[in-house]
Chain A
Amino acid sequence: MTPSSPFDYAPAPESRAVVDIKATYGLFVGGEFVDGHGTPFKTVDPATEEVLAEVAEASDADVDAAVKAARKAHERVWGRMPGRERAKYLYRIARIIQERSRELAVLETIDNGKPIKESRDVDVPTVAAHFFYYAGWADKLEHAGYGTTPLGVAGQVIPWNFPLLMLAWKVAPALACGNTVVLKPAETTPLTALLFAEICQQADLPAGVVNIVTGAGATGQALVAHPGVDKVAFTGSTAVGKAIARTVAGTSKKVTLELGGKAANIVFDDAPVDQAVEGIVTGIFFNQGHVCCAGSRLLVQESIAEEVLDRLRERMSTLRLGDPLDKNTDIGAINSAAQLARIRELADIGEQEVSGERWSPACELPERGFWFPPTVFTGVTQAHRIAREEIFGPVLSVLTFRTPSEAVEKANNTPFGLSAGIWSEKGSRILEIASRLRAGVVWANTFNKFDPTSPFGGYQESGYGREGGRHGLAAYLEGGQR
């Protein structure tokens, strides 16, 4: 009964040769790359801490120039262009994204730290799908129910966890509806947005329709506060979301906010157990847990808790952590030193508070770069901070429940309400529980599935407004709510 020699996967790195990272990057304003007037900042590869490039910081004046360029483009070209003509540009962008998908995926992985298999198989294909989908709406707005009048200039601020995908969620519907945009990518992940700017040039998109201003919080603040912006769209933390809501209060700006979450992933005793374990893993370890809708609270029925946790630990032991560019890597790098510090802090608090166990599979962390092992806390209760606060990292809190009502009560007992998961083989139970959960997205027997046709958004502190689907048009048309 001797086990054979283990089958060691040799390194299978995706080639970096496909990307051309410049030493310095400017802003993209009025269809051209221009210098910024703030203090340039560096973006690093979180897997190695190597500096990738120096990126311009947009000053208040740069933001003003970008908003003016967007205004001009909106008034002179884009806002009056027939929908079917706008659609052609969006289709063209979508096709170029597909053609350059490998380049985009590799660059995203280098700048963000996420595994290449995710940027290649999830992020970039979904980005292209989003542009294709909204290209289809551009000439059919009259059938969507929100009128056909665009808002004007959209100021959009996006996070670092899905840099290109969040760009697509913001830019595609805005452009389809006839708005022009000024977009600020996150300061730790600006590179794919700047490559997207090149794609806009390649697609001959009229100057000023898409403007990209790089920088940190101050640049974002200048953008959302700019009086020339008609619409603010933000994805990011709840704290910043609240600050934005205060900034725009009392103005005529329309706002959509997609903020944090602390999703419950509920596993009933009649669940398809093997797939539920996969769903738990996908729910919290996909993209190192840097997912606003991550299933960070596992609610498992007491009668099967032990079995599920045994299987979960066994499954986690097969996760491969390491070089994000290796095609066999499942868990990549934490995006920044600051985020790593935040995850460590909350995990340490969890260790002090929780009477249960903190567990991670045996896995070697690379010496350089920002890394955190997949971690599970058992014996967590609703009173613990790790069950209440968004960690935004690969840390799962396990709670148990006895009855369906208790599961719903615990799932809803959070100021957030972005997403939830239900695992059960019983269809009637799924429908009943889903209707009682206060969450913008409820997945049944799956988790973290994204599709451009499906609206996405939250309740309470998870924000307001919907992105994706027909509902996503409402945020960019005069006839939409808010």
Chain B
Amino acid sequence: MPITASSAATAPTGGSGLADVTSSDAALRRFLHGLPGVDQVGAEARAASLATRSIKTTAKEQALDLAIRMVDLTTLEGSDTHGKVRALAAKAVRPDPADPACPSAAAVCVYPDMVATAKETLGDSGVHVAAVATAFPSGRAALDIKLADTRDAVEAGADEIDMVIDRGAFLSGRYLQVFEEIVAVREACARADGEDAHLKVIFETGELQTYDNVRRVSWLAMLAGAHFIKTSTGKVQPAATLPVTLVMLEAVRDFRRQTGQMVGVKPAGGIRTSKDAIKYLVMVNEVAGADWLDPDWFRFGASTLLNDLLMQRTKLRTGRYSGPDYFTLD
């Protein structure tokens, strides 16, 4: 993992000039509201223009394999069972049973009670287990419950924790409360062996609504020590969109410029086709930069996307489309 517990255990300090901005609610508010605004029309136009890039032949091959390696294969249903999770985990390790050269997905993403099952199936495949914690998806629970939820998942072996922020607190301007909650969850991600489970912070941008809010919450989460910032739970519409992801990619780019630290980005929900996934990769490449074109720094939270990536991959290799019956359904 690129960020070790020691290198990013605390919020950035020192030369970056950000040491004081989280010292009080007022200071944090001043800082977040002092960030440059986002012009909605301009941001959407930029996203739309990047989406017209034409990715063909060798570039498409590269992109499809990269996208497969970036998938957090997700099942977050009340009806999830151990059997379902085992099947999903098996698929994450070997997405295309017909082609051993097909790369594995990045992780499987499940509820905390399924972590042990997923871990067991994944073994030492290198595929991570991500768990949604902190009273996912609404985040409406007391802090100690959220922390217990997190610790449970980490103890069960989760490599990554996908937490949700308290959108109510954010929208009512209690930024420091949101900040402190992220810091507390980050601490709860500590494992007995001294390593941290990686923390992804979900904003639920569909509820925050404005791009200004997306930029502010991105900085807030990065200041609090998030390893990844993530658009959505997948339970609220709209989920991930290109312009929201654009604003988040600009935030991680600017954060690195100021602090030297890289933070990952994960759009989740609503990305179903290879074409969509490639649009995101183009955006990562041209907005944040090629350094982010790696599963350590960019992920897709998705389930149906994987099969479309596999179908397109097979089509590129064989020149023919095969039907959905030739790909596994988990």
| Interface locus among A154-162, A268-276, A363-371, A388-396 | A268-276
Contact of B286 among A1, A8, A318 (CB under 8 A): A318
User: Is B38 on the interface with A (CB-CB < 8 A)?
Assistant: yes
Instruction: Determine which residue in B54, B56, B57, B62 has the highest number of CB atoms from chain A within 10 A of its CB, and name it.
Output: B54
Contact B42 A328 (CB under 8 A): no
Contact of B57 among A4, A5, A10, A327 (CB under 8 A): A10
Contact A7 B281 (CB under 8 A): yes
User: Is B315 on the interface with A (CB-CB < 8 A)?
Assistant: no
Contact A4 B55 (CB under 8 A): no
Q: How long is the Cα–Cα vector from A327 to B60 in the complex, in angstroms? A: 15
Contact B37 A12 (CB under 8 A): no
Task: Annotate A214-256 by CB proximity to B: 1 below 8 A, 0 otherwise.
Answer: 0000000000000000000000000000000000000000000
User: Is B187 on the interface with A (CB-CB < 8 A)?
Assistant: no
Contact B37 A6 (CB under 8 A): no
A12-B55, A272-B37, A328-B54 known; A7 and B293 CB under 8 Å? yes
Task: Annotate A352-371 by CB proximity to B: 1 below 8 A, 0 otherwise.
Answer: 00000000000000000000
Contact B294 A275 (CB under 8 A): no
Contact A10 B58 (CB under 8 A): yes
User: Is B53 on the interface with A (CB-CB < 8 A)?
Assistant: yes
Contacts of A274 in B (CB 8 A): 36, 38, 42-43, 46, 250
User: Is B2 on the interface with A (CB-CB < 8 A)?
Assistant: yes
Contacts of A1 in B (CB 8 A): 2, 262
Q: How long is the Cα–Cα vector from A53 to B62 in the complex, in angstroms? A: 40
Task: Annotate B18-32 by CB proximity to A: 1 below 8 A, 0 otherwise.
Answer: 000000000000000
* Residues 1-38 (chain A) with a chain B CB within 8 angstroms: 1, 3-12
User: Is A121 on the interface with B (CB-CB < 8 A)?
Assistant: yes
Q: How long is the Cα–Cα vector from A446 to B41 in the complex, in angstroms? A: 8
Contact A275 B52 (CB under 8 A): no
Contacts of A6 in B (CB 8 A): 285, 290, 293
User: Is A54 on the interface with B (CB-CB < 8 A)?
Assistant: no
Shortest CB distance B3–A (Å): 9
Contact B38 A272 (CB under 8 A): yes
User: Is B122 on the interface with A (CB-CB < 8 A)?
Assistant: no
Q: Is the interface of A mostly helix, strand, loop or mixed?
A: loop
Q: How long is the Cα–Cα vector from A322 to B59 in the complex, in angstroms? A: 18
Q: How long is the Cα–Cα vector from A9 to B57 in the complex, in angstroms? A: 9
Contact B54 A7 (CB under 8 A): no
User: Is B63 on the interface with A (CB-CB < 8 A)?
Assistant: yes
Contacts of B58 in A (CB 8 A): 8, 10
Contact of A271 among B36, B281, B282, B293 (CB under 8 A): B36
Contact of B53 among A271, A279, A328 (CB under 8 A): A328
Contact A327 B43 (CB under 8 A): no
- Closest B-chain residue to A116, C-beta based? B54
Contacts of B45 in A (CB 8 A): 278, 446
Contact B286 A10 (CB under 8 A): no
Contact B52 A8 (CB under 8 A): no
Contacts of B144 in A (CB 8 A): none
A121-B52, A275-B43 known; A3 and B57 CB under 8 Å? no
Contact of A4 among B46, B52, B290 (CB under 8 A): B290
Q: How long is the Cα–Cα vector from A46 to B42 in the complex, in angstroms? A: 31
Contacts of A445 in B (CB 8 A): 39, 41-42
User: Is B80 on the interface with A (CB-CB < 8 A)?
Assistant: no
Shortest CB distance B161–A (Å): 22
- Closest B-chain residue to A7, C-beta based? B285
User: Is B291 on the interface with A (CB-CB < 8 A)?
Assistant: yes
User: Is B92 on the interface with A (CB-CB < 8 A)?
Assistant: no
User: Is B93 on the interface with A (CB-CB < 8 A)?
Assistant: no
Q: How long is the Cα–Cα vector from A274 to B55 in the complex, in angstroms? A: 25
User: Is A117 on the interface with B (CB-CB < 8 A)?
Assistant: yes
* Residues 258-273 (chain A) with a chain B CB within 8 angstroms: 270-273
Q: How long is the Cα–Cα vector from A270 to B282 in the complex, in angstroms? A: 29
User: Is B66 on the interface with A (CB-CB < 8 A)?
Assistant: yes
Shortest CB distance B46–A (Å): 5
* Residues 274-300 (chain B) with a chain A CB within 8 angstroms: 281-282, 285-286, 290-291, 293-294
* Residues 39-70 (chain A) with a chain B CB within 8 angstroms: none
Contact B59 A272 (CB under 8 A): no
Contact B39 A272 (CB under 8 A): yes
Contact A327 B54 (CB under 8 A): yes
Contacts of A272 in B (CB 8 A): 36-39, 42
Contact B36 A273 (CB under 8 A): yes
- Closest A-chain residue to B38, C-beta based? A272
Instruction: Determine which residue in B36, B55, B262 has the highest number of CB atoms from chain A within 10 A of its CB, and name it.
Output: B36
User: Is A139 on the interface with B (CB-CB < 8 A)?
Assistant: no
Contacts of A271 in B (CB 8 A): 36-37
Contact A278 B46 (CB under 8 A): yes
- Closest A-chain residue to B53, C-beta based? A328
Contacts of A302 in B (CB 8 A): none
* Residues 415-464 (chain A) with a chain B CB within 8 angstroms: 425, 445-446
Contacts of B286 in A (CB 8 A): 318
Contact of A7 among B36, B39, B43, B290 (CB under 8 A): B290
Contact A9 B53 (CB under 8 A): yes
Q: How long is the Cα–Cα vector from A381 to B52 in the complex, in angstroms? A: 37
Contact B60 A275 (CB under 8 A): no
Contact A279 B54 (CB under 8 A): no
Shortest CB distance B295–A (Å): 9
Q: How long is the Cα–Cα vector from A63 to B236 in the complex, in angstroms? A: 66
Shortest CB distance B60–A (Å): 7
Q: How long is the Cα–Cα vector from A11 to B285 in the complex, in angstroms? A: 17
Contact A12 B56 (CB under 8 A): yes
Return the 3 tightest CB-CB contacts between A and B, nearest first: A275-B42, A12-B54, A327-B54
Interface CB pairs A-B, < 8 A, 25: A1-B2, A3-B294, A6-B290, A6-B293, A7-B59, A7-B63, A7-B293, A9-B59, A10-B58, A11-B56, A12-B56, A272-B37, A272-B42, A273-B36, A274-B36, A274-B38, A274-B43, A274-B250, A275-B38, A275-B43, A278-B46, A327-B52, A327-B54, A328-B53, A445-B41
Chain B interface residues (CB < 8 Å from chain A)? 2, 36-39, 41-43, 45-46, 52-60, 62-63, 66, 250, 262, 281-282, 285-286, 290-291, 293-294
